[in-house]
Amino acid sequence: MASNEIFIGKNSTTKQTIQELTEIIESEKPDSLILLGDVKSSVKVISKNEWDEVPLFFEKIKEKCDVILIPGNHDANIQKLVPEGITMISSTGMVEENTLLTHGHTMPSKNFSHVDRIIMGHVHPVFFQEGSIINGQRVWISMKIEKEMMFPNKSGELEITIIPSFNKYFYATHRKKYKKSISPIIDRIKSVAKARIVTLDGTIIGNESIIDQVL
């Protein structure tokens, strides 16, 4: 917005995100919030706005619950912005029971080959279909693949869930205007056994046959 000279007030989108997250936390009452990376936007530097916005975000959210950050590819030098009380772990991710939580820009180590599920972000799935009322909308993707695609020494089934961007300003109505993020995890997937594409309100809009429209 700023690059197009659209100004909506200092920290306004950050405050909006804080409010939306706070409402979810107060409703669901989790012990902790795990952030799957890309808290900041600029890739290799810290922008002027981020010096104010990122610490503000963390300070407000940690008042509500514990916060764990798994850094993404946009989070270079974010340790300079993270206040005390925030748990920051390796970008390779963390395992919770049988689930690997990761940003998605790195290939999971074979040390994680025992997991049955991967939950990741990074690629920001958006549904594209001209003429559809949900064209350009963020979606969830849940798919099942053969585990050996990801971990050659393992067999069985692996579920991969790709979460949409929490930022509602991240959308596009034409694929040519959508900057696709490259993920080594997605690159390993040669075929999908089953998939479910779901809108933000929980409506199932398709299966593995429309993967190409969202990835």
Last residue of a domain, one of 33, 60, 89: 89
* Residues 15 and 106 grouped into a single domain: no
On whether both 208 and 118 belong to a single domain, the answer is yes
Q: Report the pLDDT value the prediction gives residue 8, as an integer from 0 to 100.
A: 62
Structural domains of the chain, count: 2
Q: In what order do the strands lie in the sheet with 94-96?
A: 94-96, 99-102, 117-120, 157-162, 139-146, 194-199, 204-207
* Among candidate residues 89, 109, 129, the one where a domain is terminated: 89
Same domain assignment for residues 125 and 161: yes
pLDDT average, residue stretch 30-58 = 91
Among the candidates 89, 112, 145, a domain finishes at: 89
Within 8 A by CB and 6+ apart from 170, the residues are 124, 138
pLDDT (tens digit per residue) in 50-103 = 999 999 999 999 999 999 999 999 888 999 999 999 999 999 999 999 999 999
The pLDDT of residue 181 is: 77
My answer on whether 124 and 73 are in the same domain is no
Q: Per residue in 143-180, pLDDT tens? A: 999 999 999 999 999 999 999 999 887 767 777 777 77
164 and 208 assigned to the same domain: yes
Are residues 214 and 142 part of one domain?
A: yes
* Average pLDDT over the chain, rounded to an integer: 91
94-116 mean pLDDT:
95
Q: What is the pTM of this model?
A: 0.90
Please report the pLDDT score of residue 175 as a whole number. 74
Q: How confident is the model at residue 9 (pLDDT cuts 50, 70, 90)?
A: low
Domain that holds residue 74: 1-89
The whole-number pLDDT of residue 11 equals 62
The CA distance from 8 to 57, in Å, is 18
